[in-house]
Every structure is written in structure tokens, then in C-alpha cells.
Amino acid sequence: MIKFKDIKQPSDKGKKIIRLIAPVEVPIELDPFELMDEFIEFCKEKGWLCSGGGVQF
């Protein structure tokens, strides 16, 4: 299940910030940190700002 949470604060100057929480199951041979790096690169290609992020086990 993917959850989106809108976070809008006065300091954002009208920008819409969306927090994405997406649990993902990956095969044991896949490095989850590489997957996160690929997601950050995808965001850059789309012109999106990707801040934070992380991997939890």
C-alpha cells in the first residue's frame, strides 16, 4: 500500500510537498540502497526534488 500525505507549511512559499511512504518488498539479492539511489535519480529526471528517503528493514 502506498500512502501520500500532503504537508504544506507557510515557509514552503506555496509549494506543495508530498510525503510518500511506500513499503516495497525486494528479493534478498537486491541491494535496497541501490534501489533508493535509482528512485532519487528518477525524481531528478522528472524535475522533482527528493529530500530524505531511507531504507528500513
Q: Check residue 2 and give its pLDDT.
A: 45
Residue 24 within a domain: yes
Residue 54 within a domain: no
Residue with the larger pLDDT of the pair 17 and 41: 41
C-alpha 32/C-alpha 24 separation (Å) is 9
Residue 7 within a domain: yes
In the chain, what percentage of residues exceed pLDDT 90? 0
With b meaning 16 or more CB within 10 Å and e meaning fewer, what string describes 2-30?
Answer: eeeeeeeeeeeeeeeeeeeeeeeeeeeee
Residue 5 has pLDDT above 60, yes or no: no
Residue 55 within a domain: no
Residue 38 within a domain: yes
Domain count, the chain: 1
**Segment 7-23 mean pLDDT:** 63
pTM exceeds cut of 0.85 = no
What residues form DSSP beta bridges with 5? 19
Domain extent, residue 19, equals 3-46
Q: Which cell numbers in the block locate residue 27?
A: 528479493
